[in-house]
Structure 1
Amino acid sequence: MAVRFLMGILCLVFLASQGIAETPVPQDKRKQTVIGKYVTARQAYEMWKADPDRVRILDCRTREEYLSQGHPTMAYSIPAHLRMRGGSLRDNPEFEARTRQRFAPGDVILVICRAGYRSADAVNRLAGAGFRNVYNVVDGFEGSDGGGGAATGWKNSGAPWTRDVNPELL
């Protein structure tokens, strides 16, 4: 167990030294978090591959989005917001508690939404609940071209995703 933990730490140190573990602070303030940890979807996948027992991917979109639009194959669905009648969103009052039930305090949690805005809010909520090793996946699941024509996001990164449902991840 200790060897596996040390290997995970070494992988994260290696990734950080290669510029893979974190991305710069997003220019868009709506994607910035109080913790200040950011990754792209591609970096998130590389971090997960390096240590899948400790790096967790949390999809904070609504359950409907998770199921209909697809999701990272290994992502846990814990909605940070609930869609109300009429389409508006409200905070899910169980978000922090469900996250605490699902993940260990030492886990690295990579939070993803559609485009990096709601995940920033979710990271801030988790920070308020005492989580410290939480990253915002700034380009999200769908990504955007940012006006430059380059497709971003988990779906466009080559990382695995699915529309299939694994009940253990719900």
Structure 2
Amino acid sequence: MKRRLGVIAGEAGIDFVDVSLMATVPGRGLRTPMLVSGPGARRYAEMIRPLGARADVLDGPAGLAAERKLLRSVFYKGLAAAVVEALEAARAAGCEDWLRENIADELTRASAATLDRLVEGSHRHALRRTVEMQAAADMLDDLDVPPLISMASRDLLRRLAESRSTPQVY
């Protein structure tokens, strides 16, 4: 949509700016980190930075900032959805406090190495993890918790397993 708006604005001689807010606004206001792109991005950033704003300019067309925000949303909103589903299931299983503490500990200890471990481990152990996520989804069904994220995880892992040409570690 922002790419299309950028083209329409450009045809009308308007320097369109794609502004994507990269964090929550409450408590930050104008200091909320922004990504900006499009023909008017540099000018926009120059106008608002003296007011205390943080605007990172991406060289490229309108829509580039929105694309980056949505890519981040896949991660961040997906993570939030996984946490919500897991805690709902833990509540139904009678161990929400335990899981909440476990998740907080994992997030607190996370580092760049955690990211590498998550990605590499998902590829390397995709077949075993597909089976594990099916079992998790079945358990959530038994707990009357819709396993939306669990099933999506299973499906992604299945796709990774099917795309591998080398034997997997089970």
**Per the shorter chain, which TM-score range?**
under 0.3
Q: Higher helix proportion, which one?
A: 2
Which structure exhibits the higher relative contact order, with contacts defined as CA atoms closer than 8 Å and separated by 6 or more residues?
A: 1
Give the alignment's TM-score, normalised by structure 2.
Answer: 0.24
